[in-house]
Amino acid sequence: MPAAVHLIDHPLVQHKLTLLRRKDTSTAEFRRLLGELSMLMAYDVTRHLPLREVDIETPVAPMRGRLIEGRKLVFVPVLRAGLGLLDGMLAVLPNARVGHIGLYRDETTLKPVQYYLRLPEHMPERDAIVVDPMLATGNSAVAALDLVKAAQPRSLRFVCLVSCPEGLANLQAQHPEVPVYTAAIDQRLNERSYIVPGLGDAGDRYFGTQS
């Protein structure tokens, strides 16, 4: 039984995603919106995190509060577009660790090839969240999850902003136990493996490298 696909359909997320998708949204605006969206998505994606009890004093009385073990969390952006989701997530979880995965597509085999991998130590004690804004064919998400899974994190999740049926099917076939969080399941892939309607190339739009 495949793990759940969590559709984050909060009105704030849907509103900002619509503004982000527009083709005339500037690079500066795209960055700002993607930062806000990742903060909002972090809210849902971290719902499972364990809390530890701590004794504190308010100005009125002592009490027992609860804190997240932020240092046990690791965000793993898939380079380069995944970096666009990182700052917002770190803004709300500043103690989280960060790993990086670099993948490029081999133009002959069309398969993702790893060119960079750096994960923090002690992965079996950590909850890992792999982030990439677009789940298109799903091939790089599958490869990224293969790499993180090999490090045996305590838990593993995948977050994307926009997905499509093809990418979700691929991911669920290869990593059926990994929960997926997404703000949209779009119609399909086109012949160039772009999501339709999607938002274009997320990396180019975030870094301002589109022509």
Q: Which amino acid is at 73?
A: L
Q: Is 155 left (phi over 0), alpha (psi -120 to 50) or beta?
A: beta
Which range binds ligand URA by CB under 6 A, 54-62, 105-113, 121-129, 199-207?
Answer: 199-207
Q: How many CB atoms lie within 10 A of CB 193?
A: 15
- Pull the structure tokens for residue 120: 């923090």
Which CB, 151 or 162, lies closer to ligand URA?
162
Nearer to ligand URA, 25 or 46 (CB): 25
From 43-51, 59-67, 83-91, 194-202, give the range in contact with ligand URA by CB under 6 A: 194-202
Q: Please identify, using beta-carbon distances, which residue of 146 and 201 lies nearer to ligand URA.
A: 201
Q: Is residue 134 close enough to count as binding ligand URA by CB under 6 A?
A: yes
Site string for ligand URA, 69-108 (x = CB under 6 A): ------------x---------------------------
Q: Which of 98, 147, 185, 194 binds ligand URA (CB under 6 A)?
A: 194
Binding site for ligand URA (CB under 6 A): 81, 134, 136, 194-195, 198, 201-203
